[in-house]
Amino acid sequence: MLLEDLQNWYDVKGIEKIDSPSLLVYPRRVKQNIKRAVSMAGGPEFLQPHVKTFKCQEVVHLMMNEGVYKFKCSTIAEAEMLAMSGAKEVLIAYPMVGPKVDRMVKLILAYQDTQFSCLVDCPAQAKHLSDHTHLAEVYLRVYLDLNVGTDRTGMKPGKNAEALYDLCKSTSHLIIMGLHVYDGHLRQIDIKERRLACNEAFEPVQKLASKMEKKYGKEVSIIAGGSPTFPIHAKREGVVCSPGTFPYWDRGYALSLPEQKFTYAAVLICRVISRPAKDLICVDLGYKAVASEGPLGNRVWFLDYPDLEPVSHSEEHMVLRVQEDMDLTVGKLLYAIPYHICPTVAMYDRVLSIEYEKVSERWVTSARRRRINI
Instruction: Give whole-number Cα distances, 280 to 38, 275, 276, 295, 323, in Å.
Output: 44, 6, 6, 19, 8
- Which of 178, 213, 248 lies at the terminal end of a domain, its last residue? 248
pLDDT for the residue numbered 105? 97
Peptide bond into 243 cis (omega under 30): no
What span, in angstroms and rounded, lies between the C-alpha atoms of 117 and 108?
Answer: 9
Bridge partners (DSSP) of residue 118 are 92, 142
22 domain residue, yes or no = no
The chain-wide mean pLDDT, for the chain, equals 96
What is the number of residues in the chain? 374
- Which of 220, 248, 276 lies at the terminal end of a domain, its last residue? 248
Residues 278 and 215 reside in one and the same domain? no
Sorting pLDDT into bands at 50, 70 and 90, what band is 5? low
Residues 75-100: tens digit of each pLDDT: 999 999 999 999 999 999 999 999 99
**Cα 105 to chain center, whole Å?**
24
Sorting pLDDT into bands at 50, 70 and 90, what band is 3? very low
20 domain residue, yes or no = no
| Rounded-to-10 torsion of CA 16, 21, 26, 27 | -120
Residues 142 and 288 reside in one and the same domain? no
- Which of 222, 248, 274 lies at the terminal end of a domain, its last residue? 248
Residues 331 and 236 reside in one and the same domain? no
336 domain residue, yes or no = yes
Question: Span 18-37, mean pLDDT?
Answer: 98
What span, in angstroms and rounded, lies between the C-alpha atoms of 64 and 66?
Answer: 5
| 335 touches 18 (CB < 8 A) | no
Residues 243 and 306 reside in one and the same domain? no
Q: Which of 220, 153, 157 is nearest to 185 (CA)?
A: 153
261 domain residue, yes or no = no
13 domain residue, yes or no = no
Residues 217 and 319 reside in one and the same domain? no
288 domain residue, yes or no = yes
Q: Domain of 39: which CATH number?
A: 3.20.20.10
46 domain residue, yes or no = yes
Residues 158 and 292 reside in one and the same domain? no
Q: Which of 1, 19, 21, 31 is nearest to 336 (CA)?
A: 21
What span, in angstroms and rounded, lies between the C-alpha atoms of 64 and 69?
Answer: 6
Residues 241 and 345 reside in one and the same domain? no
Sorting pLDDT into bands at 50, 70 and 90, what band is 206? very high
Residues 289 and 217 reside in one and the same domain? no
125 domain residue, yes or no = yes
User: At 206, which amino acid appears?
Assistant: Q
Residues 43 and 169 reside in one and the same domain? yes
The count of structural domains within the chain is 2
Sorting pLDDT into bands at 50, 70 and 90, what band is 325? confident
pLDDT for the residue numbered 2? 52
Look up the domain containing 337 and give its range.
266-368
